[in-house]
Amino acid sequence: MEHLTLLIGVVIVTALAFDFTNGFHDTANAMATTISTGAMSPRLAVAMSAVLNLAGAFLSVQVAKTISGGIIDEKSGIRPEVIFAGLVGAIVWNLVTWLAGLPSSSSHALFGGLIGATLVAVGAHGVHGEAVVMKVLIPAVASPLVAGAAAALATRLTYRIGRNADPESTRKGYRAGQIASAGLVSLAHGTNDAQKTMGVITLALITGGLIAPGSNPPVWVILSAGTAMALGTYIGGWRIIRTLGKGLTDVQPQQGFAAQSGAATVILASSHLGFALSTTHVVSGAVLGSGVGRKGAVVRWGTAGRMGLSWLITLPAAGLVAAGATAVADQGTWGVGLVGVLGLLVCAGAYVLAQRNRVDHTNVNDVAPVGGSASGAAAVAGPGAFDAFSGELSATIPPPAQAAPVTRKAAL
């Protein structure tokens, strides 16, 4: 029993670590457009998002119940070490995509990790296939399309309504609207994504016999999950903020307001219905929709295509990592320990690699798209800056040299 209790403790800590990576991985969902348009300073933006993520964790438990008893059969013989392996798979994939600056789905990384670990440990009967299709896969396809269409329509309306207004006054007004809508997205993100970690911890408590099947997450679970996500949010996923704020389209305040309002509406409605959708998919779709909705805007479909590819492989990739981790963890205590050590080494390696080409609040807006190519633009950044569009180091383009003054004698 002592071993089981210790293992559940390890699972809880690992779940909170995933929640932390979810926070900094998904900060861009709420704040990328607000930061890129200058509506808020980067540090203030992530601080506001962190507070509202914590508040959102207390609004609902429907998504948590989908995770703890909907996707995975809690009575199929799932053991705490299986959940642990699933979480390791999700964390590893989150760090890989964060390094690449790709706004992939932390939610799908978690689903893939849990599903892959369950398939290896107990077989297909441990996964509720219908729930996966209805609660995960269909929302994954529909949510970015719905959010994109809503954002495109809202963008067209905002420009049409304000076409005769003073441009500077309109810009200031929409920047204020961006702050409000970004706060709503942060609240919605806490409501949807923090609940996924709550569901995982609740599932671990159920498998250990500490709470009854079908139970709601205890208050301490809600508080700890919300706090871990808030801390991760405050750290700021600057690489992904750069991609989402600058890489898909040149976002103006009107577009940012329309995109964030549409995304928040979709996320909150889905949370109420218990759909464990990806906030990354929703917000990315909304940002693309805002680019489509503004006449003359450049939409970088090459960047969007790379993001879409990462969305497709996230669930199976995290599942494969988790499946391998489960095979090792099933060997006993030493296997669990080895998986934990390997997971820590991956985290340390990601941190070291990130420091080589650091992106933070001081340079998050330095990458500026140039040219008009709709298939992906080059990036201009400081020396050795990370190009979030291509995943490579961007070239440094020096400013043009000042021409020598032309004297009258020389002119003659």
Specify the pLDDT at position 396. 33
Q: How far apart are CA 226 and CA 244, in angstroms?
A: 24
Q: Is pTM beyond 0.75 here?
A: no
Mean pLDDT of 356-381: 53
Q: Which of 128-142, 262-276, 371-385 has the lowest mean pLDDT?
A: 371-385
Specify the pLDDT at position 401. 44
Residue of 247 and 117 predicted with greater confidence: 117
> Residue ranges of the alpha helices (H) in 278-407?
279-293, 301-329, 333-356
DSSP state of 397: -
DSSP state of 296: T
User: Is 192 a residue whose pLDDT tops 50?
Assistant: yes
User: Is 199 a residue whose pLDDT tops 50?
Assistant: yes
Mean pLDDT of the chain: 77
User: Is 6 a residue whose pLDDT tops 60?
Assistant: yes
Residue of 402 and 23 predicted with greater confidence: 23
Q: Which of 257-266, 330-339, 356-365 has the lowest mean pLDDT?
A: 356-365
**What are the CA-CA distances from residue 325 to residues 85, 287, 319 (Å)?**
5, 36, 10
Which residues is 368 bridged to in the sheet? 380
**Residue 101 token pair:** 């600056």
**Residue 262 token pair:** 């549409």
**What are the CA-CA distances from residue 266 to residues 148, 228, 245, 277 (Å)?**
10, 24, 20, 10
Is the CB of residue 302 less than 8 Å from the CB of residue 376? yes
Where does the pLDDT of residue 328 fall: very low under 50, low under 70, confident under 90, or very high at 90 and above?
A: very high
Is the CB of residue 130 less than 8 Å from the CB of residue 71? no
Handedness of CA 34, 35, 39, 44 (dihedral sign): positive
Which residues is 378 bridged to in the sheet? 370
Specify the pLDDT at position 397. 35
Where does the pLDDT of residue 393 fall: very low under 50, low under 70, confident under 90, or very high at 90 and above?
A: very low
**Residue 285 token pair:** 């779709």
**Residue 288 token pair:** 């693309």
Burial label for 357, CB within 10 Å (0-12, 13-18, 19+), is: middle
Is the CB of residue 13 less than 8 Å from the CB of residue 197? no
Is the CB of residue 80 less than 8 Å from the CB of residue 203? no
Query: Within a 10 A sphere around the Cβ of 369, how many other Cβ atoms?
Result: 20
Specify the pLDDT at position 369. 40
**pLDDT tens for residues 53-87?**
888 888 766 666 666 556 777 777 778 888 899 99
Specify the pLDDT at position 65. 63
**Residue 241 token pair:** 């903020």
**pLDDT tens for residues 155-167?**
888 888 877 777 7
